[in-house]
Structure 1
Amino acid sequence: MRETNKVFHLAIPCKDLDETAAYYEGLGCRLARRYADRVTFDFFGDQLVCHLNPDEIDAEPKMYPRHFGVTFTNIGEFNDLLEWALKKDLPFFQKPMLRFEGRKEEHITFFLIDPANNLLEFKYYNDAEMVY
């Protein structure tokens, strides 16, 4: 298990820094740094860097294989984020759905889509052993 002194880092492309900053701050992420070519966020305790690279944007994104997000271990926090996304009218790529119903790996999930067509998945497993 991860120790609290470690932070996961992810870098993704974006097409416009202002639009990207507004989106991720609207999602509740804290803007940590901004430069002429990138913005860095505290993404639910991890580091997300959005590099200005409009030529690398997926014209038609697909869930698999490329997406990222957060697996919640607290259903209340998952529901809070879902309510926040609905309240802020954030664009959904996939509305909330139940996957693997009745199986050990059953979980609820939804996908958001950012302004550069990056897909963000948020999920909660009923069985905490299935998080990894």
Structure 2
Amino acid sequence: MRTSEDVFHLAIPAADLDAAQEFYVGALGCKLARRYADRITLDFFGDQVVCHLSDVADDAPELYPRHFGVTFRHREDWERLLRLARTRGLTFFAEPFHRFAGRAEEHETFVLADPSNNLLEFKYYDDPRMMY
């Protein structure tokens, strides 16, 4: 069974590893764990994301069904990342918006697009029981 010492792993395509590294490390503040000629491995908010060099990119991405990101436990962390994204001029696929007002799953969200058009959603739920 997974414990808090384990990490989730996700592999995504990257058309340009330098651009991917600049976005994830330079702009989002993730940690570069390793770099090889064909991939970079990142500490993505405590989990592992590997950007594999690929010529397969989505020129017209849609949020559903494929995206990934972080659901923050604390609003301040979500707001801090939002400010960072704005300050660094990152590409918003979807500006911040409020979803499901008045319902248990009410939350704030925004979506960024990385240089290879992978979509990253960042959320904060008012009720932490709705994180899963």
Aligned counterpart, 2:16: 16
CA distance in 2, matches of 1:75, 1:60: 30
CA distance in 2, matches of 1:87, 1:129: 31
TM-superposed CA distance for 1:10, in Å, is: 0.2
CA distance in 1, matches of 2:90, 2:30: 14
For normalisation by structure 1, the TM-score amounts to 0.97
For 1:115, the aligned partner's letter is: P
CA distance in 1, matches of 2:58, 2:130: 30
Please give the secondary structure, in 1, of the residue aligned with 2:65.
Answer: coil
Can you give the 5+ residue segments of structure 2 that lack an aligned partner in the other structure? none
**CA deviation map 1:89-127 (0-9, x unaligned):** 100000000000111100000000000000000000001
Map residues 61-76 of structure 1 onto 2, 5 A cutoff.
61-76=61-76
CA distance in 1, matches of 2:53, 2:2: 30
CA distance in 1, matches of 2:128, 2:62: 27
**CA deviation map 1:2-54 (0-9, x unaligned):** 52211000000000010110010111101110000000110000000000002
2:88 is the alignment partner of 1:93 = no
For 1:124, the aligned partner's letter is: Y
2:57 is the alignment partner of 1:57 = yes
Can you give the 5+ residue segments of structure 1 that lack an aligned partner in the other structure? none
TM-superposed CA distance for 1:83, in Å, is: 0.4
Please give the secondary structure, in 1, of the residue aligned with 2:5.
Answer: coil
TM-superposed CA distance for 1:59, in Å, is: 1.1
**CA-atom RMSD, angstroms?**
1.1
Task: Could you list the structure 1 runs, at least 4 aligned residues long, displaced by more than 6 angstroms after superposition.
Answer: none
